[in-house]
Amino acid sequence: MAQKDEKLQFLGLGSMVEIDHMDALADTLYMIVARAVGKDGDGKTILRYQVAPHPQGGSAKQADDIITLAESSITKVVHEGYHDEKDEVFLSKMITGMENAIKNMSSNPKKEKNVTLKKEPEKIEVPLPPKVEDEKELLKKDPFYKFRS
């Protein structure tokens, strides 16, 4: 886990951890399945993780048991998963992307967010029923016209 003076470094995917989180299942180890970065209340960059319970994992049936948490909620690393230089590059890109997004938001405070407008549904023209006088003529020509529409 990162200290203030220490360079930020993700735990490897697959790391097994104990967590202190209100949604945690009792007596359960969790496996890191996803990683992200964020800012805390003081503006400090923090590491964030998604963890899935062991042994169930991140299956669709267990989706409600997957927890997103800050690194500070990890109380113990039981087993560290694989990591290499690609993890460092990944983390660096995530931090740069986050910082650029923050700069863009703060430099354009009045700029509206990209909003995708829903396309209006196509208008379908529905023919009006014939006038009564026209109906008599239609009945003479085709007594079953009402059933053909």
Kindly report, residue by residue over 96-105, the tens digit of the pLDDT.
888 888 888 8
With CA atoms as reference, report the closest residue to 72 among 46, 44, 45, 37. 46
**pLDDT band with cut points at 50, 70 and 90 for residue 22:** confident
- Listed by start position, the domains of the chain span 16-106
Q: What is the pTM of this model?
A: 0.61
Mean pLDDT score of the chain, rounded to an integer? 81
As beta bridge partners, residue 125 has none
Q: Report the C-alpha gap between 130 and 128 in whole angstroms.
A: 6
pLDDT at position 78 is 95
HSE-up of 41 (CA within 13 Å, CB side)? 0
Would you say residue 77 has pLDDT above 80?
Answer: yes
As beta bridge partners, residue 36 has 48
Name the token pair of 15: 């790391």
Would you say residue 132 has pLDDT above 80?
Answer: no
Contacts of 12 (CB under 8 A, 6+ apart): 32, 80, 81, 82, 83, 87
HSE-up of 75 (CA within 13 Å, CB side)? 8
